[in-house]
Amino acid sequence: MTSYELAQVNIGRLKAPLDSPQLKDFADNLEPVNAVADAADGFVWRLKTEAGDATDLRIFGDEWMLVNMSVWRDNNALTAFMYQGMHRELLARRYEFFERMHEVMTTMWWVPAGHRPTVAEAEERLLHVREHGPTQYAFTLRKPFPAPGA
């Protein structure tokens, strides 16, 4: 068992209310995609409320900004989930549901095994990578960093 796990956050500003016809395909697929993630090899944890997802949570105080955060065994496990099946299909359609942004909207960082990151921690990591670019503290899929001590 490793002493570190990979935390990831991705955020998006909705183009319409979550219960609108424009976002119906996205909303209808949240539960099935989350179930696939929960069963994926290397999945550890995901941010969710009592409702079973994180759609009631917001980041940066923006009522239109959804937050998705999870913890994985490693980068390989995360990318294997991201780029296959239903998640890949919805990812390809993201601009139907979310505004196109010109700043970093996703980041990753290593956490001690068992640590569950908070939305405040995710905000801090996103702001760090926006200001400093990818570093060991907060990085991107395009520029990952190894776990401490690896």
DSSP string, the chain: --SEEEEEEEEEEBSS-TTSGGGHHHHHHHHHHHHHHHHSTTEEEE---TTSSSTT--STT-TTEEEEEEEES-HHHHHHHHTSHHHHHHHHTHHHHB---SS--EEEEEEETT----HHHHHHHHHHHHHH-S-SSSB-SSS--PPTT-
107 falls in which pLDDT band (50, 70, 90)? Answer: very high
pLDDT digits (tens, 9 = 90+) for 20-67: 999 999 999 999 999 999 999 999 999 999 988 899 999 999 999 999
pTM comes to: 0.93
